[in-house]
């Protein structure tokens, strides 16, 4: 059931490979996804595993980058997908599954969250904060009330399939280095 959609997700994921920029006012600037979408996002980095493994821990629920890089770095089932010199190291879902966060907001949280209650990468507040060494991609899933067309039809709605698609994608490609669960 999921293998065909996983292939379609990969086609879309690899065609969207975006830089992360900082505006003059310090705000994070990204291309896509449009506001009001739901879907799956992917983060890539050109930082080495050794560099990631030496990052001081952040407070709160932030992703423990060094701990995960050390624990996962040499395991055989870790995701090794690369694109343009960047390794896929993290993915997640973002949408309206009982929460107000859409996909775009969730991607931005991974980059610049300072909320210690949020389990995110917190890239800008970490020691691996050179945004030129990070990229992201995403796919959109159907969600009631979303403001733009999704990449896949309503048979692949976010509420019903996002967690399963994320898990099956990981089974097909390996566990992203910095993912906890």
**Looking at the domain assignment, is residue 178 inside a domain?**
no
**131 inside domain:** yes
With respect to residue 135, please indicate whether it lies within any of the assigned structural domains.
yes
C-alpha dist (Å) from residue 148 to 24, 42, 66, 121, 160: 29, 20, 37, 27, 19
Q: Which has the closest alpha carbon to 36: 110, 152, 158, 145?
A: 145
CB atoms within 10 A of CB 79: 22
To the nearest whole percent, how much of the chain has pLDDT over 70? 97
Residue-wise pLDDT for 78-121, tens only, equals 999 999 999 999 999 998 655 556 899 999 999 998 777 778 99
Question: So what's the pLDDT on residue 119?
Answer: 81
Structure tokens at 3: 């293998």
Q: Answer for the pair 140, 40: CB distance below 8 angstroms, yes or no.
A: no
pLDDT in tens, 8-43: 999 999 999 999 999 889 889 999 898 888 999 999
> Which residues constitute the domain of residue 20?
3-173
74 lies in some domain: yes
166, 81, 180, 46 alpha-carbon torsion, rounded to 10°:
-130
In a domain, 160, yes or no: yes
Closest CA to 141 of 97, 176, 108: 97
Classify residue 181: in a domain, yes or no. no
Cα–Cα distance, 30 to 8 (Å, whole number): 23
- Peptide linkage before 23 cis (omega within 30 of 0): no
Give the number of domains in the chain: 1
- pTM (predicted TM-score): 0.94
Q: Is residue 52 part of a domain?
A: yes
């Amino acid at each position: 059931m999921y293998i065909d959609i996983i292939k379609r997700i990969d086609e879309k994921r690899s065609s969207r490979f975006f830089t992360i920029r900082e505006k003059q006012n310090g705000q994070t600037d990204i291309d896509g996804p449009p506001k009001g979408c739901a879907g799956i996002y992917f983060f890539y980095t050109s930082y080495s595993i050794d560099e990631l493994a030496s990052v001081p821990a952040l407070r709160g629920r932030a992703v423990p980058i060094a701990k995960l890089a050390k624990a996962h770095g040499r395991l055989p089932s870790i995701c090794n997908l690369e694109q343009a010199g960047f390794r896929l190291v993290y993915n997640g879902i973002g949408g309206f599954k009982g929460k107000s966060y859409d996909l775009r907001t969730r991607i931005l949280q991974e980059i610049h969250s300072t909320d210690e209650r949020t389990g995110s990468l917190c890239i800008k507040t970490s020691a691996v904060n050179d945004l030129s060494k990070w990229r992201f991609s995403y796919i959109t899933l159907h969600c009631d009330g979303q403001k733009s067309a999704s990449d896949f039809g309503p048979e692949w709605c976010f509420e019903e399939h996002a967690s399963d698609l994320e898990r099956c994608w990981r089974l097909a490609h390996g566990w992203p280095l910095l993912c906890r669960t």
